[in-house]
Amino acid sequence: MSSPFPLSKTDHTLRNGLVLFFLWILIEGMLRKWVVPALATPIFFFKYVIIGYLLAYFVLHRVKVLKNHFPYIGILFFYIIYCFLELFNMDVTDKLSVGAVGIAVHLGFIPLAFFIPQVITRPQQYSKLIRTVAWISLPIFVLGIIQYFSPQGSFINRYVADDMKIAMVGSHVRIATVFSYLAGHGVYLIFVMPFLFIYITTKFDPDKSKLLVIVTFMLGLLNLLMTGSRGPVFFFAVDVVLLFLGIALGWGGADAKLKSLFPSLLGFCLLELFCYCIRNPGMKPSKHLPKRTKDSQYDAYIAG
């Protein structure tokens, strides 16, 4: 059966490349720290090879970029110039390769902002994407909860660098899930949680796919706390405030949005109560994070 949303040959190539890229992002950490740690460096740079191929394809096929798809191209231009100028600000003892890696890390993912609008152009595609993200995120979030209650010396809590100390908050590890280090999971949560939250609060229907998104979202809230990271919690809180501001201003039908919000909030409250009854896992991260916010000395590092 043909797709109801047919893609051109160019868009089809971009879509397949993006699927490969995001799948690689998810398995990269597992390969680097659990499967083939000896190849950690080449595995790390492979994602930039994928981006480079897609960028070359994008340019050579002269794919048209619409202004409404990326309205901040002027700011981006000055940011790129600034990054390259910083190469001249390097210490004379630094190798040029260090600057090149820095440029790749800072600018390597920017082309995604041009690729994605070429592939996802319809609301139905967005809905399908969110459901796919929920299926992928569910086992990742479950792994995060398992890591939180596993000993700091356990295999699943190791980092890529064996000599790196395991970050703790209170008596528990700060979870990294499938990513190489803590920051990766924090960025993943910053990216995924707002999408799940907006999907739940603006398009809630009582079917199985929405139930999946709600369950994944609730487990994601626990993961936010279990990272022990203030950044993901802060950014998610900002997203929630902005959404409620939009509701207060009546964007897109406030009543329906408010009604759809209650099942997810009620579900999280029930999840916290359930967690409290079994070894108190849901409440501990809720207590540890505020303590770490007030006192950085609350952090602990245990040798791996």
Tell me the per-residue pLDDT of 240-268, one tens digit each, with 9 for 90 and over.
777 777 666 665 554 454 545 555 555 55
Q: Which residue has the higher pLDDT, 274 or 80?
A: 80
Q: Which residue has the higher pLDDT, 5 or 234?
A: 234
Question: 190 pLDDT exceeds 70?
Answer: yes
Q: Say what the pLDDT of residue 203 is.
A: 58
| pLDDT, tens only, 61-81 | 876 766 665 667 778 888 889
- Tokens (6 digits) for 148: 């939180």
Question: 217 pLDDT exceeds 50?
Answer: yes
Identify the band that residue 26 occupies on the pLDDT scale cut at 50, 70 and 90: very high
Give me the sign of the Cα torsion angle 98, 89, 51, 178.
positive
pTM of the entire predicted model: 0.78
CB 239 within 8 A of CB 224: no
- The letter for the amino acid at 212 is L
Q: Say what the pLDDT of residue 254 is.
A: 47
Mean pLDDT, residues 132-143 taken together = 94
Q: Where are the alpha helices (DSSP H) in the chain?
A: 9-30, 40-60, 73-85, 96-107, 112-119, 123-148, 182-202, 208-226, 230-248, 254-277, 283-294
Which range, 42-46, 100-104, 110-114, 211-215, is most confident?
A: 42-46
DSSP 43: H
Mean pLDDT, residues 188-214 taken together = 78
Largest distance between two CA atoms of the chain: 62
* Cβ partners under 8 Å of residue 248, min gap 6: 254
Cα 227 from Cα 265, distance rounded (Å) = 20
3-state helix, strand, coil in the chain (%, to 5): 70, 5, 25
Identify the band that residue 223 occupies on the pLDDT scale cut at 50, 70 and 90: very high
Identify the band that residue 216 occupies on the pLDDT scale cut at 50, 70 and 90: very high
301: phi then psi, degrees, rounded to nearest 5: -130, 130
DSSP 23: H
In sequence order, what are the beta bridge partners of 299? 169
Identify the band that residue 172 occupies on the pLDDT scale cut at 50, 70 and 90: confident
Identify the band that residue 279 occupies on the pLDDT scale cut at 50, 70 and 90: very low
Q: Say what the pLDDT of residue 280 is.
A: 46
Identify the band that residue 282 occupies on the pLDDT scale cut at 50, 70 and 90: very low
- Give the DSSP H or E segment for 79: helix 73-85
Cα 68 from Cα 289, distance rounded (Å) = 39
34: phi then psi, degrees, rounded to nearest 5: -120, -30
Cα 179 from Cα 159, distance rounded (Å) = 9
Q: Say what the pLDDT of residue 70 is.
A: 63
**Strand pairing class (299-302; 166-169):** antiparallel
Mean pLDDT value across the chain: 77
Angle between helical axes of 254-277 and 208-226 (0-180°, round to 10): 60
Q: Say what the pLDDT of residue 30 is.
A: 95
3-state secondary structure of 163: coil
Which range, 16-20, 56-60, 92-96, 256-260, is most confident?
A: 16-20
CB 160 within 8 A of CB 180: yes
CB 213 within 8 A of CB 259: no
Q: Say what the pLDDT of residue 265 is.
A: 53
Question: Mean pLDDT lowest for which of 158-167, 172-181, 211-220, 265-274?
Answer: 265-274
Burial class of residue 97, CB neighbours in 10 A (0-12, 13-18, 19+): exposed
